[in-house]
Structure 1
Amino acid sequence: MSSTSLISFSLPSYALVLILFLALFFPQPLESSSDYATLVYKDCASQTFTDPTKSQSQALSLSSLFQDLLAHSSQSKFFKAVEGESETAISGFFQCRGDISGEECYSCVNELSQMSNTLCSQAMAARVQLYGCYTYYEADGFHETSTSEANLHYKTCGESKAVVDGFAKLRDTAFATLINGVVHNNGFYATSYDSVQMMAQCEGDLGGCECGECVSSAEQIAQEECGESVSGEIYLDKCFISYTFYPDGKPINPHPENGQRGNNNSNGKAAAIVVGGAAALFLGFIFLLLIRSWGKKEDD
């Protein structure tokens, strides 16, 4: 077949080739591993807004509270507010993870307000934890049964067990590094120690010593409850920790809460440059073929 006959392809043929190319080199993005809006747990008070003289005002106060929190979420990772007056006031706060952007924080807090209304409808107090952020609110006069920093809200331990010698010692040494890091880094720390990736965060207004004590309590729970599990997450009143052990020393970040983000940014950028260059060359080739094809049709 001659080159002339190749150029006589119709426009739809070129379009089809272009579509196939774009589908191969620019596939639909997979679900992000940094899905900060994924629910971790919820804790709703059993008491609800049932007093007819207060319930409507309390509901309005709660709505205003979430609007106020959302308004600050793109500029701050932690914010407290009080809405309403006297006996119908609602106080609360949000906190985003220390390693997410303002835009991600805003999206996460926006999801929090919707989830809180759905999951803890009419509750006088609620705590909703997502991977990237959490919120807590309570109505005036409501008191939790426990406000201890060591009050456990949620824990999960990986099903896989470590089969290497010295795992407990390695994990505990990593935990000591985590405590020191979170105390000296404004209440948030994500790092790797040997083959263990870990992260800790304390409530935004918790002091350094209190933060260290809280994280220490979480680590003790992890040691006792998770044992030889290669991963775990512990959420207390004032702090949380997560850790994952990678026997081969190659963390893959299967969950957004595990370890640091962006370890492969340079590789990703290099791949983007290569793919982008190939795309530009191919699109330029298609454009030339289209021009020649149109010119041939006009001559005919």
Structure 2
Amino acid sequence: MMGTTLLSFFTVLVSLSCLYSPTSSSSTDSFVFGGCTQQKYVPDSPYESNLNSLLTSLVNSATYSSYNNYTIMGSSPQDVIYGLYQCRGDLAMPDCATCVARAVSQVGHLCSYTSGGALQLEGCYIKYDNTSFLGVEDKTVVLKKCGPSIGYDADGMGRRDSVLAALVGSSGPYRVGGSGEVQGLAQCVGDLSLSECQDCVSEAIGRVKSECGGAVYGDMFLAKCYARYSTGGSNFYSKGHHDKSTNDSEKTFAVIIGLLAGVALLIVFLTFIRKVFGGNGK
């Protein structure tokens, strides 16, 4: 019953996100990859309640922050759950909130009753598990995608290598660069330190260069960072520029997201109270 209630909440949340987002979010909401753990949890268990609380917190936080992580404690160690989300660094907050809400909705279908899950959309990433992964550097290759080869083009490959080298030489968790039609992008998950982020980005860029060779584009997603490039002039990121006329829409959107998230937290709380008093009455 609780899972159905929260699923209905997220369905409504996504519908309203479509109505109030001031820009088209089809590109940021495109599916990149997803995966689930093999371990399952019992329906209507304390773990499911904690998972619902975690997912609600992710959606609520995304209305005002591009990254956050949470640890939901339980009455026993097996009920503890860890989770985070990370929006692409150029997204405006309404677009970030929309993306995270849709990621939460999709991971619920993809990873039904599994203890852990991860989902990457073009504009955001979410992950949760019952084993802590927060603050742990992980350079495991999750997804490699290379475009068709254009053969050896010294000028094109030279510009690509220069753009990627500039990303390595940059600082911060979100890095973009370009030269003509060549575009580059790299980002770390926010729980990494600066040195861990640098190490992860360097690994991702080294891999995408060596494994995609002369491809027109390349994507290398590691567990805690990614690097991407395109030589065809087609941007895989689109920085949102919202003028003053959209301010009211953005504020309305943020208020609605916050109110809906508050309703979900209230549902979780009331369900917990009902179980406690129901148990005492037996």
Q: TM-score scaled by structure 2? A: 0.70
Which residue of 59, 63, 68 corresponds with 2:52?
A: 63
- Alpha-carbon distance in structure 1 between the residues aligned to 2:69 and 2:239: 27
SS at match of 1:122: coil
Query: What is the match of residue 102 of structure 2?
Result: 111
Give unmatched runs, 5+ long, in structure 1.
1-30, 267-300
Which of 170, 174, 188 does residue 159 from structure 2 map onto?
170
Match of 1:8 in 2: none
Please say which structure displays the higher CA radius of gyration. Answer: 1
Displacement of 1:203 in angstroms is 1.1
Matches within 5 A, 1:1-300: 32=24, 35-50=27-42, 56-85=45-74, 86-87=76-77, 88-139=79-130, 142=131, 149-181=138-170, 183=171, 186-246=172-232, 251-253=233-235, 258-259=236-237, 261=239
Q: Deviations over 1:194-232 (max 9, x none)?
A: 431011111113222221111111112112221110101
Instruction: Return the structure number with greater relative CO, CA threshold 8 A, min gap 6.
Output: 2
Deviation readout 1:33-52 (Å, 9 max, x if unpaired): 752111100021111115x8
CA distance in 2, matches of 1:187, 1:61: 29
Alignment size in residue pairs:
217
Shift of 1:234: 0.9
What residue identity is the alignment partner of 1:158? G
Provide closer, same or farther for how the CA distance between residues 108 and 260 of structure 1 changes in structure 2, counting only shifts above 3 A: closer
Q: CA RMSD in A?
A: 2.5
SS across alignment from 1:192: strand
Structure 1 pair 68/33, CA: closer, same or farther in 2 (3 Å)?
Answer: closer
Shift of 1:162: 4.6
Aligned residues with identical type, % of pairs: 30
The Cα shift of 1:64 comes to 0.6
Q: CA deviation at 1:148?
A: 5.1
Which 4+ runs in 1 deviate beyond 3 A? 31-34, 166-169, 259-263
CA distance in structure 2 between the partners assigned to 1:214 and 1:205 by the alignment: 12
